[in-house]
């Protein structure tokens, strides 16, 4: 979990690279619910706006950072689930047996000056789970493998200028997704952030992002970033998918209460009539938890968190496309996670 850093205009827009996958999966979650409850389209659009403007600022890195590498290990308890079709027909039920999930990501600044920044962000996700259909298995008709590998990378370009006397950052980026089966899909995002206020205590920025891809239903999202330091110990960060209230206990130890979006996505090949040849399962959950950050050295940081996970519906659809074939209802469950991050700054 990130520290409450007062961002530059460049770091604010460049941080979207680190969370573009989450932004797109939030959008997928809202598409899925809309398909399921058509009469709530207006309400879900408003909810989508609030999700996209909540807290991308929590993912902001230090603008001086030229390289970072982080690894997150998390786990959750086993829960029962129910598979349903788009029409609401019950297809199967059973239990999700979860193993350890590992997420590794990096950010490398390839080139930067006062106006331009070019960076690449490779990632690798490994998840270990088994969906055991313990009843009505004949209606489901396929098996989901236990081990899942999802990897890829994001290339981003940022351009900084002034608009109405305020710093404005414009950006474009593209992301490629791969699995153990090979290439899956690609997507892109363009957007901008106008920094209305930026001082030692408060940061306020407004902007918009546009998602590009075959699975996009609502392409345009407004965005708000906000950060405020109440005093030397208490601060708050709100942006995109993460909201945190921080307490700085000491120069190297920080505690926080946070609400964050957690995504779960993997690809598989069902080889079943009526289902796509290239299938993807995606699910978005809200995590409410307590977190502890320890800055062990100038380069090395540790974050440990635990709390409750409240899942939205999961959905099975064709890789890179919008149509849902099945919907999975998961249960509320506890979670625990640990992240280790190594970062280098430009002056090192």
Q: Residue ranges per domain, the chain?
A: 9-345
* Integer angstrom CA distances of residue 296 from 230, 232, 244: 25, 20, 21
Structure tokens at 145: 């493998």
Any idea which residue has 């960060």 for tokens? 237
Render each residue's pLDDT in the chain as its tens digit; 348 residues: 544 444 455 454 444 444 444 444 444 444 444 444 443 343 344 344 434 433 343 334 456 778 999 999 987 667 677 777 666 677 777 767 667 789 999 999 999 888 889 999 999 999 887 666 654 444 555 666 678 899 999 999 999 999 888 999 898 999 999 999 999 988 888 889 899 998 989 999 999 888 887 555 667 788 888 999 999 999 999 876 788 999 999 999 999 999 888 877 888 887 777 778 888 888 778 889 999 999 999 999 999 999 998 887 777 788 777 777 777 777 788 889 999 999 988 764
d(CA 261, CA 338): 16
SS3 assignment, position 105: strand
* Locus of tokens 């249960």: 331
**C-alpha span between 103 and 17 (Å, rounded):** 16
Six token digits for residue 63: 């603008």
């Amino acid at each position: 979990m990130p520290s409450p850093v007062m961002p530059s205009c460049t770091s604010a827009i460049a941080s979207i690279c680190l969370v573009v996958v989450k932004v797109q999966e939030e959008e997928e979650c809202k598409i899925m619910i809309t398909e399921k409850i058509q009469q709530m389209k207006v309400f879900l659009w408003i909810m989508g706006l609030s999700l996209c403007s909540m807290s991308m600022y929590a993912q902001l890195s230090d603008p001086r950072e030229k390289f970072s590498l982080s690894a997150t290990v998390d786990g959750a308890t086993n829960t029962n689930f129910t598979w349903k079709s788009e029409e609401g027909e019950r297809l199967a039920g059973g239990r999700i047996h979860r193993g350890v999930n590992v997420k590794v990501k990096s950010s490398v600044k390839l080139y930067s000056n006062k106006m331009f920044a070019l960076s690449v962000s490779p990632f690798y996700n490994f998840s270990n789970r088994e969906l055991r259909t313990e009843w009505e298995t004949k209606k489901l008709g396929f098996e989901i493998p236990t081990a899942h590998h999802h990897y890829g990378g994001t290339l981003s370009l940022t351009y900084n200028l002034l608009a109405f006397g305020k710093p404005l950052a414009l950006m474009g980026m593209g992301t490629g997704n791969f699995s153990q089966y090979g290439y899956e899909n690609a997507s892109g995002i363009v957007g901008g952030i106008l920094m209305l206020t930026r001082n030692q205590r408060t940061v306020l920025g407004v902007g918009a992002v546009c998602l590009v891809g075959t699975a996009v239903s609502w392409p345009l999202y407004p965005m708000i970033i906000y950060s405020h330091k109440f005093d030397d110990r208490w601060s708050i960060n709100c942006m995109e998918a993460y909201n945190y209230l921080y307490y700085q206990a000491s120069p190297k130890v920080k505690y926080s209460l946070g609400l964050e979006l957690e995504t779960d996505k993997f690809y598989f090949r069902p080889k079943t009539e009526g289902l796509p040849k290239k299938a993807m399962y995606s699910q978005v959950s809200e995590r409410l938890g307590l977190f502890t950050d320890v800055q062990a050295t100038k380069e090395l940081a540790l974050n440990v968190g635990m709390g409750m996970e409240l899942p939205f519906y999961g959905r099975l659809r064709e890789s890179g496309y919008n149509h849902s074939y099945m919907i999975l209802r998961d249960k509320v469950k506890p979670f625990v996670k640990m992240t280790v991050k190594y970062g280098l700054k430009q002056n090192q």
